[in-house]
Chains A and B, each alone.
Chain A
């Protein structure tokens, strides 16, 4: 059953892009289409990062362990929308002016944060293959914890760029906070268990998440 859901999910993840293209062809992007594209792809990136991060808590809390088979695709979609977002900046905002962009990255905090969020996603996308997972073993999971920092940098990027209305970036920050807090709680609980007796708990945890 879950196997058939995956292609559906694949297509569903393309909906934000499809909507954007549709709006583009139906004068739905408003007076400043490039700004609309930038905002839309940026939002999609953050949403996919947060959805990816919610898989682990969700599968454990609902005992739907098969959900793990969705995580890679969701993460890669975050990278996909992040790439589109970056491309709108590189192409439509800066028109490939490398000097200008380097100046921006060094000088503008929100660009620095956004660029950090993107760069941190690169190794995760590159090591998302089965082969890389096998090859890296335990280190794979260590490496993929970078997503916490990528998502945090992404949310900070948003907070730092708005003029006065923090409502939307703070909504993202709240969701991210909850998702990260869950991990802290799990980590503390695992430590307490380990302290109480066997040291095997954490190893079970690892093999389970890789399944």
Chain B
């Protein structure tokens, strides 16, 4: 057996340290993959256990939800580095960095409009209103891509019940923070700032509508809408307003930002609907991040339980 002496080994043959160290990561990943396959947990879940991630704070006492899908969860890295968050940038890979120093505490949410008592609630007060649940939802962007995310929060109805809107309130409006120093995207009039979204009262009270303050078992990362946002899994992503500072109850349909920007393209309802195309592209299919082939888009993004909210409505007109 020929044993090379040290000086015989050319430096080009020596594996760089970084690669060598990566080898362990690879082995670990392979082991995890094997274990994941054996135990039946999703691979991405296993590689990104909720203990290792950036946002930090783990949320304790998470309850499981019957609304959760068993589909493969999108990797944490993708959900935190592919963000449509125009308050920071129109480039999807930029909010991760630009939102790094975004201040999410102290944070007040103003509750006003047609409510018994107008008030300002601290976000930490809101978060404690109900036990946190993990809800693994499909999330479909109007642009034709989708992800599966384990959000953390509770039904929006829990908050609404507690603040007591009057019987005149027919709609609820959500406003995102306006602060162009912290949100550099607001320095350009790409959209009308602040970002506003809205729901009909019965939509907001539907148990699927989530008041969300975490994901992957931790606090919500800044680029994903921290400290508090809504998640409406049967609607296109733009309906799910981020970094909410105001919740207003009203009897008039709120003017939502994207609808103001391009009324023919983005409606008030924005329900996921494979049969109603965006004027410029088809909505029949979507690309799930991480998948090569496109998959068919489902009516209401597969959340048929909301169908009764829209019975008798022409969804081609009310897009």
Contact = CB atoms under 8 A, between A and B. Distances in A.
B280 A109 contact: yes
B187 interface: no
A168 to B, nearest CB: 9
B107 interface: no
Interface in B231-272: 261-262
A32 B280 contact: no
Which of A109, A161, A163 has the largest number of chain B CB atoms within 10 A? A163
B122 interface: no
Given A108-B280, A109-B280, A32 B289 contact: yes
A101 to B, nearest CB: 11
Interface in A11-37: 30-32, 34-35
Given A30-B92, A31-B78, A108-B281, A164 B289 contact: no
Nearest to A103: B282
Contact of B145 (A32, A95, A109, A110): A32
Given A30-B81, A164-B262, A110 B287 contact: no
Contacts of A35: 145
B45 interface: no
A208 interface: no
Interface residues of B, number: 24
A165 interface: yes
A164 B191 contact: yes
A165 B87 CA distance: 12
Contacts of A93: 294
Contact of B282 (A32, A104, A110, A165): A104
Given A34-B287, A104-B282, A108-B281, A164 B93 contact: no
Given A30-B93, A35-B145, A164 B287 contact: no
Interface in A133-176: 160-161, 163-165, 167
Which size class do A's interface residues fall under?
A: 10 to 19
Interface of A is mostly: helix
Interface in B168-189: 188
A160 B282 contact: no
B281 A32 contact: no
Nearest to B143: A163
A164 B86 contact: yes
B90 A31 contact: no
A173 B196 CA distance: 31
A29 to B, nearest CB: 10
A93 B287 CA distance: 9
Nearest to A36: B93
A1 B249 CA distance: 74
A194 to B, nearest CB: 45
Contacts of B191: 164
Nearest to B93: A30
Contacts of A109: 280
Contacts of A167: 90, 188
Contacts of A163: 143, 262
A109 B190 CA distance: 22
A164 B90 contact: yes
Contacts of B190: 164-165
19 contacts: A30-B81, A30-B92, A31-B77, A31-B78, A31-B79, A31-B289, A31-B290, A32-B145, A32-B287, A32-B289, A34-B287, A95-B294, A100-B282, A160-B280, A164-B86, A164-B261, A165-B86, A165-B188, A167-B90
Given A34-B287, A164-B191, 12 more contacts: A30-B81, A30-B92, A31-B77, A31-B92, A31-B289, A32-B92, A32-B145, A100-B282, A110-B280, A163-B262, A164-B86, A164-B261
